[in-house]
Amino acid sequence: MSDWNLKNLIDRIFSGTIFSDPAEDSTEKLSAEDSTGELPAKDSTEKVPDNSTIEKVLDGILVKEGGFQISSKDRGNYNSKGQLVGTNLGISAPVYEKYIGRVPSVYDMKNITEEEARDIYRKNYITPVTKNLGISEDSPVFEQVVDMVVNHGYGNTVPIVQRALGGIKVDGISGKMTRAAISKAIKNDPVGFNNRLVNKRVDFYKAIVKSTPDKQKFIRGWLNRATSFIK
């Protein structure tokens, strides 16, 4: 694992920036093959997304992320004025600030509605999975990859997916080669691919603890979250 990937994940998890907007950096991480910086062209025959499946995935995420929390040690709890306002339903203060277009207060964060949270998750976390990685909601790895984007951030999810695929460059770029490899893996070995994703997530978490031993106290929860997707 490269140092930049490990440092990036550590920073995102323990600073709160894990909840930055992956839809923003997703276009920046398209490969040179997509030099226009645009998302893949939408196929006119593309089916309508199964919203019931997406909502079930979001049900699980909301349970895992929990309700209102406030921690002075987590930068994701601070708004742009440096005020400690907390997080709620897994939504950080910076993400919610961007969503509502103004600086949120503690009151605002405490009163984030489930509808708002679901809307943020759809736009910021579902879209990069379906559009950038080309993983449809009926894919057997869809739920896990969405969970990865929420938990690791999109920028760390792509290299983890690439390691699970094997045989392609691990560069954090969700270009044509990566999307083609994902499609092939889902078609030919969906269960194996899913479980390799679990294994690479476990490796990533263990590498964090090896690099920063004081994070050992978090490892059980991390591993439980990852291994819950084993099939």
pLDDT band of residue 50 (cuts 50, 70, 90) is low
pLDDT tier for residue 214 given thresholds of 50, 70 and 90: confident
For residue 46, give the nearest of 130, 147, 163 by alpha carbon: 130
Instruction: Identify the pLDDT of residue 74.
Output: 84
4, pLDDT greater than 60: no
Give the percent of the chain with pLDDT over 90.
Answer: 71
CB 91 within 8 A of CB 19: yes
Q: Strands, E, within 25-110: which ranges?
A: none
Q: What is the mean pLDDT of residues 51-75?
A: 92
What mean pLDDT comes out for the span 21-43?
33
Topology classification of domain 3-36+114-227: Chitosanase, subunit A; domain 1 (1.20.141)
Domain positions in the chain: 3-36+114-227
190-212: average pLDDT: 96
**Sign of CA pseudo-dihedral 170, 9, 157, 83:** negative
Instruction: Output the 3-class SS for 92-111.
Output: CHHHHHHHHCCCCCHHHHHC
For residue 215, name the pLDDT band (cuts at 50, 70, 90).
Answer: confident
Average pLDDT of the chain to the nearest whole number: 83
In the chain, the amino acid numbered 197 is L
Residue type, 191: V
Over residues 203-211, the mean pLDDT reads: 94
